[in-house]
Structure 1
């Protein structure tokens, strides 16, 4: 995340990142490191999505056996049987084996 002062917060959920100078955040399993933009060679914004019943959908959380998937598209929500959880958002816990995860990487340009 851009701090607006030539520094970025790098965020990960990999506990091994502590070996690379990351610190544990106030949230469980979240680690961060503040770096100067001039120290970045290749930087990407990485977002994980899922395919559930052949539909691309957001993946928010996971527990041992399920993913919490969601969308703001009401027609997709209706097709997938998602519950309305906010004025414009729909979610549902679904079995992990029913979701195919994939990442979208977008280069950050400075």
Structure 2
């Protein structure tokens, strides 16, 4: 895994001052595993879970973990509502776990 950390800044605070530090590019080499699960309980709902783990050979105690869960509800033949949560634990980039949530209203139409 190669990370190009362009314009990635970390805010570091202590009791006296606050510093803004730019992260450098880095690469990791290790064992990786992934699991993808899809569950379609009805034709109007879809649940998808995608997770991956990278355990670097040089530091097994700090693995990279990514989890993405999506719930899609079909509202009509052309519209759906999607909720996605993404959790990333990347100790090489940031000490805290990153959580990103998205709600999308999607429209699709087939021409042929």
Q: TM-score, normalised by structure 2?
A: 0.22
* Length-normalised TM-score, structure 1: 0.22
Specify the structure having the higher radius of gyration (Cα).
2
The structure whose RCO (Cα within 8 Å, separation 6+) is larger is: 1
**Larger proportion of helix:** 1
Q: Which has the higher strand share?
A: 2
